[in-house]
Structure formats: structure tokens, C-alpha cells
Amino acid sequence: MRMSPGLRRFALAVHLALSVGWIGAVAAYLALDVTAATSQDAPTLRAAYLGMDSIARYVILPLAFASLLTGLVMSLGTKWGLFRHYWVLISLLLTVLATAVLLVETRVIRSFADMAADPATSAEHLRAMPSTLVHSVGGTVVLLVILVLNVYKPQGVTRYGFGKQKQQQQRAPSPRY
């Protein structure tokens, strides 16, 4: 089922806003993550971990799920389809992977925030907590790859897409000479 042009533009605008918002929220998280990885100041570390938790749970996670959902709507409601083009399929798989890793990492971030919020946690313990920087940088790279795929839309159809193209060609009337 294809969307009308007006509905398609609206759905695209919503999807773009959510997806770009996800990237922006990850950038804000990354700034706090760099602070947590490099600071030795206990109050700064406490604030960074608490901020990271809030951004991850209340901004990044909802935007990830909303981007995934609106991406599915866009692929199913437009000519691109969900399984026709490799770039759509790869974008979907990377988005699902990024969201799954985010779900796991959110638990880790929450535990760090709980420790940071506890006044009994010593400054030494805060300084010794492992960094989540690898995940946030990796997540940023994945989101940028998805963005590039969706902007450039590399050619290449899947077997399903090739079969659909062949069916459409067979249905089309042959030119008369």
C-alpha cells in the first residue's frame, strides 16, 4: 500500500525529525561521556553520569524506537519497500542492532547513575568506573552510516526486489513497432 504524496511528505518529515533528533541526542550524550571519561572531579563525574542516564532513558531510547517505527512506515508505504533494496534492508538491520545495543547499554548507564547518585560512593570509585565511550562513539558511527545510506540510496536490489522488478516488466505492455 502506497501513501498519498501529502501523507508521504508528512511521514518523511516526522521520520527525519526523529532520526536527526536521535543523532543530536547521541551528540549530547557523547559530550557527557567524554567528560566522564576524562574528568577527575567527583562532582563533575556525578553530574555527567546522572545526565547521561537522563539523556539515554528519556531522549535517546524513545527517539530510537520512534525512528525505527517511522522508518518501517516509510519503507512499507513507499516505492522503496522493506525488502526490495539493500540500502533499506541494511538501514533496518543497523537500526535494530543499534536499538538492541542501546537497550542493553541503558541498564549499564542506569547502574552507573545509581552509583553516582549515592553519596556513599567514593570519589576514587567514581574515577575507576569504566567508560561507555566505545559504545557512544560506535553508536554515533552506526547512526551516521544509516544517514549516509538513506541520503545516497546506493543501487542494488535484493532477490525479492529483483523478482518484483521482473514481474512489473512482464505486466507492462510491450512496445509496438
| Distance (Å, whole) CA 18 – CA 82 | 19
Per-residue pLDDT of the chain (177 residues; tens, 9 = 90+): 789 999 999 999 999 999 999 999 999 999 999 999 999 999 999 999 999 999 999 999 999 999 999 999 998 988 888 888 888 999 999 999 999 999 999 999 999 999 999 999 999 999 999 999 999 999 999 999 999 999 998 888 877 665 555 555 555 565 565
What is the Cα–Cα distance from 57 to 106, expressed in whole angstroms? Answer: 7
Closest CA to 36 of 28, 27, 26, 45: 45
38 in any annotated domain: yes
The C-alpha atoms of residue 117 and residue 122 are separated, in whole angstroms, by 11
Per the domain annotation, does 177 fall within a domain?
A: no
Residue 15: partners with Cβ closer than 8 Å, 6 or more residues away: 67, 70, 71, 73, 74
Residue 175 lies in a domain: no
Structural domain tally of the chain?
1
Burial class, 58, CB count within 10 angstroms (exposed 0-12 / middle 13-18 / buried 19+): exposed
CA distance to 2, 20, 69, per residue, from 147 (Å): 23, 9, 16
Strand, coil or helix: what is 130?
coil
**Inside any domain, residue 33:** yes
Q: Residue 115, Cα to own-chain centre: how many angstroms?
A: 27
The Cβ of residue 87 has, within 10 Å, a number of other Cβ atoms equal to 20
pTM: predicted TM-score of the whole model, two decimal places = 0.86
Domain-embedded: residue 173: no
Residue 75's domain spans which residues? 5-168
Asked if residue 174 is part of any domain, the answer here is: no
